[in-house]
Chains A and B, each alone.
Chain A
Amino acid sequence: MPNMSLEKTYMPVQNPSKRNKNFEEVSLGYNEEQAINEANRCLNCKNKPCSLKCPVKIDIPSFIEKIKEKDYVNAYKIIEKSSSLPAVCGRVCPQETQCESGCVRGIKGQSVAIGRLERFVADWNNENEKEIEKVNNNNIKVAVIGSGPSGLSCAADLAKNGFLVTIFEALHTPGGVLSYGIPEFRLPKKIVEKEIENLKKMGVTIKTNVVVGNSITIEELFKEEGFKAVFIGSGAGLPKFMNIKGESLNGVYSANEFLTRVNLMKAYEKDSQTPIYKAKKVAVVGGGNVAMDAARCAKRLGAEKVYIIYRRSEEEMPARLEEIEHAKEEGIDFKLLTNPVAINGDENFFVKDIECVKMKLSEPDESNRRRPVAIENSNFKIEVDSVIMSIGTSPNPLIKNTTKGLETTSWGGIIINEKTGETSKEFIYAGGDAVTGSATVILAMEAGKKAAKAIIEKLS
């Protein structure tokens, strides 16, 4: 008998006034009873509108059916066919614009909480894990550059098919954006570590501290180290600034730097040796998930006042709905239709205030969002002592610059064959943010899987 409640089954969360002072996970996940209750809201539509909206086409109604039967082993197996990182995606995917936007239950009432159910199954699997089957290897070496979502998923699929995979990671910890970018309270690092441990059990080698392009070039990977194919999943790591006055002041961070200090270097822990500037009043510029993460981290580090400054309205914000809601609950102040024009400093070169203009929306631009234009003479100042720029990132040019013949777009994205992920150079593949510019975990994961499939076909 289906559960005809119009609303999603409530998922417990940490109390906002408590959680905005700690780094523990905000959303606590469903227990078994809640998961089954929510699974029963699924009508098991024949045409699977949810799956059609999923970038990796997970067979959603089927895994939900398995939850109804309490058969979590097979629920996981169904997800695993299409996704390599379910515990991650269940937490960070923008479900409301993907799978859940296709859900029939969403027409009248709320859609089925597909993301929460995915997370439940993945967490159940992590807790009740069986031995990982090691496949006989085929002695064909493949190199994966970068250990973020695209690299991890590419490596996993290659390893499952017997390839000898080595992942090269520039930082000291693998995981890419999952480790340095997304905060602990949204994606606990033990989940990322688990994924990486599983890869190692499958026989994947991970070499940290290797900056491909500098430490070794792609050409040398082929010629000297005997790799037969290379997958570039180096992400989009270069932070953008606005080029306004005062961006060099002390207290101005890129979101990348701020989040890396907090998440990767654990600057919030007492025994971390990495310093971070703990500001009282913080302005975060931008409206994406990264901006929400930075704002919520700043709050947790003890800021009394944290602003999100975004030049469009809430409707156009690229952040996940849940992150926006959680940020508001935690006391983040949203200054919408507002755009910074300068950052002013004090006599010691530290940030004093951020000067903004009011914006209004005009006709839609190429991104189909209404274009914000400045309202004349609307300048005003917000007193802050730190500014975090979170207005996007672009691909790191290091690999492009050190790989002859690797074609890229005008903004540095690696050009690939959309079907295979192969670049302008044979046997070199690429995917994820290095190709698309900053996008989502699930799209990167899909790209990694696609390239793995093409590599397997090419080298078999």
Chain B
Amino acid sequence: MFEIIEKKQLNKTVTLMEVVAPYVAKKVKPGQFIILRVNEKGERIPLTVFDFNREKGTIKIIFQIVGATTKLLNELKKGDKIHDVAGPLGKASNLDGIKKVAVIGGGVGCAIAYPTAKYLHEQNSIVHSIVGFRTKELIILKDQFEKISDRFILTTDDGSEGDKGLVTNSLEKLILAGENYDRVIAIGPLIMMKYVCLLTKKYNIKTIVSMNPIMIDGTGMCGGCRITYDNRICFACVEGPDFDGHLIDFDEAIKRNLMYKDLEKKALEKTCNLLKGDS
């Protein structure tokens, strides 16, 4: 059992938790993830580690309430325990030798993009961050990003804060203005990563994305997380989650992520009713 020692609501649907998980805290590196199970009957879901404290043996996770499991997770309070936390899983991001980088974060994907940007900043890379949200209320980690970025751009789809428009518009402007990045790192919804990759391919800038497909074990056992990468089947949990975005079949990945859409909707409705009953 893994105790929650801190819980913070970052916005209406995004929560940060600090959890005691000594094995993970001791070894985790940027880009790696955990699998957790909220309770005894829970499903296993992957979540990327946002931050860690090796001395305290704790990790921080940030999650958005998107389905039944994240909703149940969000019901837990400080002092409660998560039934299972396993990890760290996947390969650590390879961030060596990057001189100038554009880090693109979309929505809750910013929670994964931030530690990467911070790490690069600490390695003396020039970091330009472009973070995008649907609307003002959904903004997270703004101050943190600003602090570690040589250049910081915030976009909202509706223009309620920052630049109105998509992250790809801002990125293209910077590229056209002569910013010569040797790497773009894009983490967010599949559709955002797809369009960032289409753009950077045009300008021939190597682009790394972090894939977060459906998975069960996270150790290569189920094969549920398979994606088509460079025209071959790849298990994202062991070969990823970071991949060269120009070689990913995004259209397939988007369709695969919808496999349980109907079942998930039902499960969420059921959970909502359950929680109603409790309160």
Decide: B216 and A398 in contact? CB cutoff 8 A.
Answer: no
Decide: A248 and B219 in contact? CB cutoff 8 A.
Answer: no
Decide: B256 and A256 in contact? CB cutoff 8 A.
Answer: no
Decide: A241 and B223 in contact? CB cutoff 8 A.
Answer: yes
Nearest B residue to A273 by beta-carbon distance? B43
A172, A216, A265: which contacts B86 (Cβ < 8 A)?
A172
In whole angstroms, how far apart are the Cα atoms of A273 and B259 in the complex?
A: 15
Nearest A residue to B225 by beta-carbon distance? A257
- Contacts of B159-186 to chain A: CB distance below 8 A: none
Residues of B within 8 A of A260 (CB): 216-217, 221-222
Nearest A residue to B23 by beta-carbon distance? A215
Nearest B residue to A265 by beta-carbon distance? B43
Residues of A within 8 A of B259 (CB): 250-251, 277
In the complex, which of the residues A215, A253, A396 has the most CB atoms of chain B within 10 Å of its own CB atom?
A: A215
Answer yes or no: A319 CB below 8 A from chain B CBs.
no
Decide: B252 and A266 in contact? CB cutoff 8 A.
Answer: no
Q: A248-B233, A265-B43, A273-B43 are in contact. Are A237 and B84 (CB under 8 A)?
A: no
Residues of B within 8 A of A211 (CB): 86-87, 89, 218-219
Answer yes or no: B113 CB below 8 A from chain A CBs.
no
Q: How far is the CB of B136 from chain A (nearest CB, A)?
A: 33
Answer yes or no: A272 CB below 8 A from chain B CBs.
yes
- Contacts of A228-266 to chain B: CB distance below 8 A: 237-239, 241, 243, 247-248, 250-251, 253-254, 256-257, 260-261, 265-266
Answer yes or no: A98 CB below 8 A from chain B CBs.
no
Q: How far is the CB of B231 from chain A (nearest CB, A)?
A: 11
Answer yes or no: B135 CB below 8 A from chain A CBs.
no
Decide: B219 and A170 in contact? CB cutoff 8 A.
Answer: yes
In whole angstroms, how far apart are the Cα atoms of A171 and B228 in the complex?
A: 26
Q: How far is the CB of A203 from chain B (nearest CB, A)?
A: 22
A172, A237, A271: which contacts B220 (Cβ < 8 A)?
A237
Q: A243-B233, A257-B216, A273-B43 are in contact. Are A214 and B263 (CB under 8 A)?
A: no
Decide: B84 and A209 in contact? CB cutoff 8 A.
Answer: yes
Answer yes or no: B246 CB below 8 A from chain A CBs.
no
Residues of B within 8 A of A254 (CB): 222-224
Residues of B within 8 A of A171 (CB): 86, 217
Q: How far is the CB of B269 from chain A (nearest CB, A)?
A: 13
Answer yes or no: A275 CB below 8 A from chain B CBs.
yes
Answer yes or no: B238 CB below 8 A from chain A CBs.
yes
- Contacts of A254-304 to chain B: CB distance below 8 A: 254, 256-257, 260-261, 265-266, 269, 271-277
A247, A266, A275, A398: which contacts B233 (Cβ < 8 A)?
A247
Q: What 1/0 flags go to A336-368 for Cβ under 8 Å of B?
A: 000000000000110000000000000000000
B44, B226, B238: which contacts A248 (Cβ < 8 A)?
B226
In whole angstroms, how far apart are the Cα atoms of A261 and B264 in the complex?
A: 15
Residues of A within 8 A of B221 (CB): 180, 237-239, 256, 260, 396
- Contacts of A408-450 to chain B: CB distance below 8 A: none
Q: A273-B42, A273-B267, A349-B255 are in contact. Are A256 and B228 (CB under 8 A)?
A: no
Answer yes or no: A34 CB below 8 A from chain B CBs.
no
Answer yes or no: A196 CB below 8 A from chain B CBs.
no
Residues of B within 8 A of A248 (CB): 226-228, 233, 252, 256
Answer yes or no: A210 CB below 8 A from chain B CBs.
yes
Q: How far is the CB of A282 from chain B (nearest CB, A)?
A: 15
Nearest B residue to A269 by beta-carbon distance? B41
B37, B86, B216: which contacts A261 (Cβ < 8 A)?
B216
Q: How far is the CB of B42 from chain A (nearest CB, A)?
A: 5
Residues of B within 8 A of A82 (CB): none
Answer yes or no: B209 CB below 8 A from chain A CBs.
no
Answer yes or no: A205 CB below 8 A from chain B CBs.
no
Residues of A within 8 A of B43 (CB): 265, 272-275
Answer yes or no: B196 CB below 8 A from chain A CBs.
no
Residues of A within 8 A of B8 (CB): none
Residues of B within 8 A of A269 (CB): 41
Q: A172-B86, A214-B89 are in contact. Are A273 and B233 (CB under 8 A)?
A: no
- Contacts of B91-142 to chain A: CB distance below 8 A: none
Answer yes or no: B147 CB below 8 A from chain A CBs.
no
Residues of A within 8 A of B260 (CB): 275, 277
Answer yes or no: A74 CB below 8 A from chain B CBs.
no
Decide: A170 and B44 in contact? CB cutoff 8 A.
Answer: no
Q: How far is the CB of B207 from chain A (nearest CB, A)?
A: 22
Decide: B222 and A256 in contact? CB cutoff 8 A.
Answer: yes
Decide: A170 and B217 in contact? CB cutoff 8 A.
Answer: yes
- Contacts of B136-160 to chain A: CB distance below 8 A: none
Residues of A within 8 A of B41 (CB): 266, 269, 271-273
Nearest B residue to A274 by beta-carbon distance? B43
Q: A277-B259, A398-B219 are in contact. Are A210 and B238 (CB under 8 A)?
A: no
In whole angstroms, how far apart are the Cα atoms of A71 and B187 in the complex?
A: 66
Decide: B223 and A239 in contact? CB cutoff 8 A.
Answer: yes
- Contacts of B199-234 to chain A: CB distance below 8 A: 216-224, 226-228, 233
Answer yes or no: B193 CB below 8 A from chain A CBs.
no
Decide: A241 and B88 in contact? CB cutoff 8 A.
Answer: no
Answer yes or no: B68 CB below 8 A from chain A CBs.
yes
Decide: B223 and A172 in contact? CB cutoff 8 A.
Answer: no
In whole angstroms, how far apart are the Cα atoms of A271 and B271 in the complex?
A: 10
Answer yes or no: A208 CB below 8 A from chain B CBs.
yes
Q: How far is the CB of B41 from chain A (nearest CB, A)?
A: 6
Decide: B86 and A170 in contact? CB cutoff 8 A.
Answer: yes
Q: What 1/0 flags go to B73-96 for Cβ under 8 Å of A?
A: 000000000011111110000000
Answer yes or no: B24 CB below 8 A from chain A CBs.
yes
Q: A273-B43, A275-B43 are in contact. Are A349 and B219 (CB under 8 A)?
A: no
Answer yes or no: B48 CB below 8 A from chain A CBs.
no
Q: Contacts A208-B84, A248-B228 given; 4 further ones with Cβ under 8 A?
A: A172-B44, A257-B223, A273-B72, A398-B220
CB-CB nearest 9 A-B residue pairs: A257-B222, A349-B255, A209-B86, A275-B263, A254-B223, A215-B23, A237-B221, A274-B43, A172-B84
Q: Could you write out 6 A-B pairs with CB less than 8 Å apart? A: A210-B23, A248-B256, A250-B258, A257-B222, A272-B41, A273-B43
Q: State the B residues within 8 Å of A (CB).
A: 23-24, 26-27, 37, 41-44, 68-69, 72, 83-89, 216-224, 226-228, 233, 238, 252, 255-256, 258-260, 263-264, 267
Q: State the A residues within 8 Å of B (CB).
A: 170-172, 180, 208-211, 214-216, 237-239, 241, 243, 247-248, 250-251, 253-254, 256-257, 260-261, 265-266, 269, 271-277, 348-349, 396-398
